[in-house]
Amino acid sequence: MKITITGSLGHIGKPLVQDLVENGHNVTVISSNAEKRKEIETMAAKAAIGKLEDADFLASAFAGADAVFVMEPPVNFFDDQLDVAAYYSKLGHNFVSSIIQSGVKRVVHLSSIGGHMDKGNGVLHFHHLVETILKRLPSDVALTHVRPLAFYYNLESFIPVIKNVGLIAANYGGDDIIGWVSPVDIAAVVAEELSSTTVNQKIRYVVSDELTCNETARILGAAIGKPDLKWIVIPDEEMQNRLGKIGMPPHLAAGLVEMNAAMHNGKLFEDYLQHKPETFGNIKMADYATVEFAKTYNDKK
């Protein structure tokens, strides 16, 4: 199959390209960074250098593909000029127009846990926004929304507070049960969906491990030589203040606090619990903690 993917060679893109190429697919990788061309070509894929904001470029990159993978790239949440909804809304409309113009009939979209919520999901709301925009695709386009749970590597944002005060603190934690996921396991699901020839419109959740935050803290702590590491729950207001002190704009901090609160009260996971996958991914918290988290922790001063 001819498959075009967005996301360059990021956390998901790199293992995804490797999987697809190893299984004999002809892969084109869209990247905004021209310096990525050599690495993409080294992986036996074709590089398409351009910006997702350019709908004509996207349509050209999608042309002739049997399937495409679209995802919303990360943004700088410390940018006080950023209108998150407007930015991702434009990308969503670009995806739709480019898919229609190119004639692609198979689309896999990377969404997120909380993509089912039109409110109350904080900074994840843009995933719901793009899912809604993609409903404008013609009915003959087979569309899968892949909704990962919480990314393991997001735990690395807690490293400064662990180093400074010896614990994890957020407005979720303790005995809250959180589903975690590895980008490698996400890539495997995306590859499976892209190469499937018998598909319907659907939503698919991806999770690698489920643990209470207390269990997560113990596993992370063991990996970094802090076996008594605790994960405490702090009030929303305190979380908002902490984010403000490290320079996050108030409206974006409020979105992060709201997302965390939805994890704490369980609303973020309501649809997931009704459609939980029968099998989890291969990479467990202990694998991540010993291989990746510990290295990042020890490398940070």
Residue span of the structural domain in which 219 resides: 210-299
Q: Full-prediction pTM beyond 0.75?
A: yes
196 and 285 share a domain? no
Percent of the chain topping pLDDT 70: 98
7 and 108 share a domain? yes
In a domain, 41, yes or no: yes
Please state the three-class secondary structure of 244-280 as a single string. Answer: HHCCCCHHHHHHHHHHHHHHHCCHHHHHHHHCCCCCC
**Which three-class secondary structure state does DSSP give residue 228?**
coil
In a domain, 174, yes or no: no
CA 62 to CA 250: how far, in whole Å? 38
72 and 221 share a domain? no
Mean pLDDT of 186-190: 98
- If one counts the domains in the chain, the total is 2
In a domain, 280, yes or no: yes
In a domain, 160, yes or no: no
195 and 233 share a domain? no
19 and 130 share a domain? yes
Phi, psi for residue 4 in degrees, rounded to 5 = -115, 135
Q: What is the pLDDT of residue 300?
A: 83
12 and 122 share a domain? yes
107 and 240 share a domain? no
Q: What is the pLDDT of residue 197?
A: 74
199 and 230 share a domain? no
218 and 283 share a domain? yes
CA 8 to CA 28: how far, in whole Å? 10
In a domain, 157, yes or no: no
CB 28 within 8 A of CB 12: no
pLDDT tens digits, one per residue of 89-127: 999 999 999 999 999 999 999 999 999 999 999 999 999
pLDDT tens digits, one per residue of 26-70: 999 999 999 999 999 999 999 999 999 999 999 999 999 999 999
CATH number at 259 reads 3.90.25
Confidence of residue 201 (pLDDT cuts 50, 70, 90): low
CATH number at 112 reads 3.40.50.720
pLDDT tens digits, one per residue of 229-272: 999 999 999 999 999 999 999 999 999 999 999 999 999 999 99
CA 233 to CA 97: how far, in whole Å? 44
CA 194 to CA 205: how far, in whole Å? 15
134 and 246 share a domain? no
140 and 216 share a domain? no
65 and 191 share a domain? yes
CB 293 within 8 A of CB 156: yes
